[in-house]
Every structure is written in C-alpha cells, then in structure tokens.
Structure 1
Amino acid sequence: MRILDMMTFVILARNRHFGRTAEEMNSTQPAISSRLAAMEHEFGCQLVHRGMRDFRLTAEGEKVLQVFQTVLGNIDALKTSLKSPASTSPAVVRIGAIDSVAATWMPDVIDSLHKTLPNLKIELTVEGTKLLVHGMNKGEFDLIFAIDPAIGDGFRSFVSCVWQMIWAGSPKIIDPDRVYSVDDLSRMPLVTFPKDTPPYRQIAPYFQDEQVLASKLTSSNSLFAMISLVIDGFGVAPIPSVIIRRELRMGLLHPIKVSKRFPPMTIIATYQSSTHQDIIRGVVEQARKSAAIFCASVDPATAWTV
C-alpha cells in the first residue's frame, strides 16, 4: 500500500467529493477513482458508498480510515523527529475564529504557540460561523472556533467555552432600573446579525416563543459593529457580557433587566484529525488551555468552560 494511496483515501474521506480531492492533490478525478478502486480490490471490500448526492464511508471504510490516519500521523511524527531544528521548515496551521474568540483568548493561543513551537506559522482568519464551517468543509482550515460545528469524516469537535448572553442598550434609549418583558423588547429597535446566520437563529426564537417579532431591525455581520451601533442608540442587542466589560464599566452600555433570560452562546471548536495529527493536537491542547485561563480570569458567571 503506497503512502499516496493512504493520503488519497484520507483526503477523499475529508472532502467527500472526488473533484475537490483531485484539485487538492493536483490530480484528476479518474486518477482518484482509480486509486480508490485499487484499494478496494486489494482489501476485497467496498470502502465508499457512491450515490448521486450521498457520499459516505462503509463500515470497512471507517476502519481503513482510522488505520490510515494513524499510519500517516506516525509518518509525520517520524519525519519531524528525524529533522534537526535548524533544518525544520515552518509548518502552517490555518485557524478560523469568530470575532468574539479572536478578541478574547485567541491572542494567548498564538503567543503561546509561538513560544512552544517557534517553527509553526499560524494563519488566522476572522469570519462568521457560516463562512468558517463552509471553509472547513472545503479544506481551507485546520481548526475553527464558531457557533456551529463542521460535520464530516475526519473532523472532531468539542465545546471550547460558553458565553453568558445579556440584553444590552445605551442609556440614551433604555431605563436600567426597569424590567423589560419580551413584548417590551419587541417594540424596541433591535441590532442583530443578518438573517439566516447562526447567531440570528438564537435571537428569532426568543421572540417567536412569545409570538412577537422585533419592529425595527438593523443587522451587521460584525459583533463589534453591532456594539458600536448599540452604543450610539440604534437599538438593543443580545451580546456576550464578557465582550462588553469595558463598555459596561464606563457606562456606555447597561445590562437590560429582562423577564426572560437569553440563552448562553456555546463556542464549538472543530479540527481536522486526518493530517498533521501531532501538530493539530498540540494546537488544540493549547487552545483548550488558553480558553480555560481566560474564563478563569473573568467573572465565572460571564464565561466558562465545560
């Protein structure tokens, strides 16, 4: 069994698409299909269910994937151990994160990795959850931190932290001593993420449960643009309280007392476990540590790890 064949199968299992696999491997779809057919002939069983819109591994394919991932990981580790520090070329880890993560504990992740893995090059992309998950599925990221996980063969996910969410508003338009009902909030201008985004999915049910909708809506795909809009009095918004600690201390924003609390926001990490396993595991472990350190440094009611 060639290393090329094992790499082909692992990448194919991750992409779930012959065309994307061929493009990633600088090859052709017939060549990828031929390698898969040769492996199935050698093992004497079908490894992949093929359908017009359905691509999934068979039970035998899952077993083969696990073994191939282990073998390729061991090969990567062997290559690393045989290289001297002076000759080691920088490895690249592509990380994607939503802006609330990028602004809190992500800098500690990057700083710690630069100290412990000086040859590691980090490419950080800050985007919304939808684009991060899409990029992960296309093989553009090795690790993402978002509201939704990416689902696929070769992906692993875990909860990295949880944000407390509060309704916040400017003293220009809210009374900090008043208790607001859902109906009260529905009649106020609302600042939120665009419709059909994961954060919006958390906001809409809050009102739909009470059979009311916000009367005025201003949307932005940037959390910090939303915060600026709320400070300027364009509306109220549900925001992770840990993100607006400074604005709350300065009195630019006030937490709104509400009769119905907003649910917390879970930040989910998804990482690629098919390639560069030792490096990715190290990055994931540091991310866990940095998230825990950050949560321990703030009010435990505002951010916590599971």
Structure 2
Amino acid sequence: MRLVDMKTFVVLARNRHFGRTAQELNTTQPAISSRLAAIEREMGGRLVNRGDGRFTLTADGERVLRHFEAVLSGIDSLKETLAGADHRSQEPLRLGAIDSVSSTWLPQLIDALHQQFPGLKIELTVDGTKPLVAGMRKGEFDLIFCLHPVLDEGFRSYSACVFQMSWAGSPTLIDPERVYSVRALADLPIISFPKNSPPYQMVAPYFHDEQALASKLTSCNSLFAIINLMIDGFGVGAVPTVTIWRELEMGLLKTLSVTKRFPAMQIIASYQAGLRQDFIAQVVRQAKRSAADYCAGVAPGMVWID
C-alpha cells in the first residue's frame, strides 16, 4: 500500500468530495478515483458509498480510515523525531483567526510556538468566521479560532475562551452617566458587523427580542474599522471589552451602562484530527496554555476559559 494512497483516502474521507480532494492534493479527480479503486481492490471490498450526491464511508471504510490515520500519524512522528525542528519547518502551520483573537492572545501563541519549534513557519489568515470554517473544510487550515465549530467528520473542536462584550462609544456621542434601555440604544447610530455574519446574529436578536428597531445601522467587516468609527463618533458598537481597553483607559471610548447586558462571545477552536496528529496535538495544547495565560493576565471578567 502506497503512502500517497493512504493520504488520499484520509483526505477524501474528510472532504467527502472528489474535486476538493484533488485540489488539496494538487492532482486530478480521475487520479483520486483511481487511487480509491486501487485501495478497494487491495482491501477486497467497497469502502465508500457514493452516488446521487451522497458520500459516506462503509463500515469497512471507517475501519480502514482509523488504521490509515494511525499509520500516517506514526510516520509523521517518526519524521519529526529523526529530523527534529527541520522537518516541521518545511511544512508551515496554517492558522486562521477572527479579529478579536488576532488582536488579543494569538500573538502570545505564535511567540510560544516559535520558541517551542525553532524554524517553524506560520501562515496566519485573519478573516471572518464563515470564510475560516469554509477554508478549514477545504483543507486550507490546520487550526482556526472563530465563532462556529467545524462539525464535519475528521475535525475536533473545543471552547478556546469567552469574551465579555460591552456597548461602547465616543464620549462626544454618548452620556457615560446615563443608563440606556434597549430602546434608547436603538435610537443611536449603531456600527455592526455585516448582516448574516455570526456577530450580527448576536446583535439583531438583542433588539428584536425587545421589539426595538435599530434603524441607523452601519455594517463593517473589520473589528479595527468598527473601533475607529466608534472613536470618531459615527456610532456605538458591541465589541469584546478587552479589545478596546487601551481606548477606554485613554478616554477615547466609554462603555455604556445598559439595562440589558449583551451576551458574551464564545471563541471556538477547530482543527484537523487526521494528519500530523502529534504535532497538531502539541499546537493545540500550547494554544490552550496561551489562552489561559492571557486570561490570567487581564482584568477579571474581560475574557475567561469556559
């Protein structure tokens, strides 16, 4: 059995799509089909049920997948043991994160990984939750931090941290001494993330549940741009408190006292469980330590481990 065939089967089982698998492995769909057929001939039975847009592993396919993952993981571990950091440096670690993570504890994680794995190359993509989840499903990332888990087979997820959320705005726009009701908030210009994005899906029910209409709404896909717009007095926004602590200390922004608290924002980490298992497991352990260390170093209640 060739290693390329084992890897092809593992990637195909994760993607559940011949085209995406071919793209990830830089080959053609006929090549993927040929490799699968060769594996099935060697194993003496069907490993995949497919047809009418359906793709599932047979019971034998599930068993083969577990064995192939173990073999590939063992080979990865052996390579890392023999070649040390030089092997890891040849294959970059692909991280994805939303703004609120990249601006808080992610730099600590990257620094810790460079100390743990000298020579490691890290490719960081900062984007929204939907593109990150879609990219993970296509095999573009090894580990992502966003607002939704990747629930497909072949992936693992855990709660990375929880951010306290606060309504905030420029002191030129709001009255820091006033207690704002939901209806009073709705009368202010509000800066939010784009419609149908996970952050927006947190904002909309906040008003709808109180039958309040936030009519002066501006959407933006960047946390940093939202904060700058808030500073310039264009509107108020609900953002992770820890991401604006400097602006709060400098007096550029003030938090609003509200009658209804905005729900906390949970960050979910998702990672591939099939390939480079030992290495990715070490990265995940370091990610958990970095998040915990960051939580312990900021003001209580701003960000915590669930």
Q: Which moved further from structure 2: 181-190 or 289-298?
A: 181-190
TM-score norm. by structure 2 comes to: 0.94
Corresponding residue for 1:61?
A: 61
Equivalent residue number for residue 277 of structure 2: 277
Change (3 A) 1:291 1:172: same
Deviation at 1:76, TM superposition (A): 0.9
Look up the SS of the partner of 2:213 in the other structure. Answer: coil
Q: Could you tell me which residue of structure 2 aligns to residue 150 of structure 1?
A: 150
State the alpha-carbon separation in 1 of the partners of residues 75 and 293 from structure 2.
33
Matched, 1:83 2:83: yes
Q: In structure 2, what is the equivalent of residue 25 of structure 1?
A: 25
Which residue in the other structure is 1:240 paired with?
Answer: 240
Is the 1:182–1:210 Cα contact (8 Å) retained in structure 2?
A: yes
- 1:271 is paired with a residue of what secondary structure? strand
Bigger drift between 202-211 and 289-298 goes to: 202-211
Write the distance in 2 (CA, Å) between the matches of 1:68 and 1:300.
Answer: 45
CA contact (8 A) 2:24 2:138 kept: no
Instruction: Output one character per residue of 1:22-75: Cα deviation in whole Å (capped at 9) or x when no partner.
Output: 222233222322322333344444432323333233343333222211110001
Which region of structure 1 is more displaced relative to structure 2, 59-68 or 278-287?
59-68
**What amino acid is aligned across from residue 226 of structure 1 in structure 2?**
I
Give distance in 2, aligned partners of 1:265 and 1:51: 40
Write the distance in 1 (CA, Å) between the matches of 2:185 and 2:86. Answer: 61
CA RMSD of aligned residues (A): 1.8
1:196 Cα deviation from its structure 2 partner: 1.3
CA contact (8 A) 2:89 2:121 kept: no
Q: Which residue of 1 aligns with 2:230?
A: 230
- SS of the counterpart of 2:196? coil
Q: Residues 101 and 18 from structure 1, CA distance in 2 versus in 1: closer, same or farther, beyond 3 angstroms? A: same
1:115 CA displacement:
1.1
Alignment of 1:44-55 (within 5 A): 44-55=44-55
Instruction: State the partner residue of 1:169.
Output: 169
Q: Which amino acid is the alignment partner of residue 202 of structure 2?
A: Q
Name the structure 2 match of 1:98.
98
Q: Which moved more, 1:32-41 or 1:106-115?
A: 32-41
Count of matched residue positions in the alignment of Structure 1 and Structure 2: 306
Counterpart-to-counterpart distance in 2, 1:73 and 1:138 = 20
How far apart, in 1, do the equivalents of 2:135 and 2:88 lie? 28
Q: Which residue of 2 aligns with 1:108?
A: 108
Partner residue, 1:219: 219
| CA deviation string 1:126-183 (max 9, x = no partner) | 1111111111111111111111122322111111000001111111111112111111
Give unpaired runs (5+ residues) of structure 1: none
Query: Is the Cα contact below 8 Å between 1:91 and 1:119 reproduced in 2?
Result: no
Post-superposition Cα deviations, 1:186-222, rounded to whole Å, max 9, x if no partner, equal 1111100011111111111111112222111111111
Determine whether 1:261 maps to 2:256: no
Q: Secondary structure at the match of 1:120?
A: coil
Change in 2 beyond 3 A, CA 1:278/1:186: same
Unaligned runs of 5+ in 2: none
Q: Which amino acid aligns with 2:29?
A: Q
Secondary structure of residue in 2 paired with 1:9: helix
Match of 1:289 in 2: 289
Paired-residue identity, %: 60
Q: Distance in 1 between matches of 2:184 and 2:279?
A: 51
Return the TM-score normalized by structure 1.
0.94
Mapped to 1, the partners of 2:35 and 2:191 lie a distance apart of 52
Q: Quote the Cα distance in structure 2 between the aligned partners of 1:74 and 1:305.
A: 32
Match in the other structure for 1:183: 183
Q: Map Cα deviations across residues 73-107 of structure 1 (whole Å, 9 max, x no partner).
A: 00111122223667875331010111111111111
